[in-house]
Amino acid sequence: MAESVNEAIISNIKNLIDKSGTSRNQTAIRAGMTPQRLSNLLNRRGLIHPAEIQAIAKALDVPVSHLFPADAGTSTDV
């Protein structure tokens, strides 16, 4: 489950960066991380940490919820 949520978050980040018209390097710097770290995340080399999710959302000027998959809170697992 964590893998699939991580994949969805990464996909959403890529889409939001593309829509923002900002470069990945600028996004990384605004998020307080190195461009290499953002590149690693976007190329699925490592899991994204909660603080990084918050920082990227702030850098992209979107609510954190925009980075999560639409169905992240609707799991029916018991």
Query: What's the pLDDT tens digit per position in 11-59?
Result: 999 999 999 999 999 999 999 999 999 999 999 998 899 999 999 999 9
What confidence score (pLDDT) does residue 26 get? 97
Provide the CATH number for the domain around residue 9.
1.10.260.40
Residue 46 one-letter amino acid: G
The whole-number pLDDT of residue 47 equals: 87
Residue 40 within a domain = yes
pTM (whole model) above 0.75: yes
Residue-range definition of the domain harbouring residue 14: 2-67
- Identify whether 74 is part of a domain: no
Total count of domains within the chain: 1
DSSP string, 23-73: -HHHHHHHTTS-HHHHHHHHTT-SPPPHHHHHHHHHHHTS-GGGGS-TTTT
* CA separation for the pair 48, 52 (Å, rounded): 6
Q: What is the CA radius of gyration of the chain?
A: 12
Average pLDDT of the segment spanning 63-71 = 89
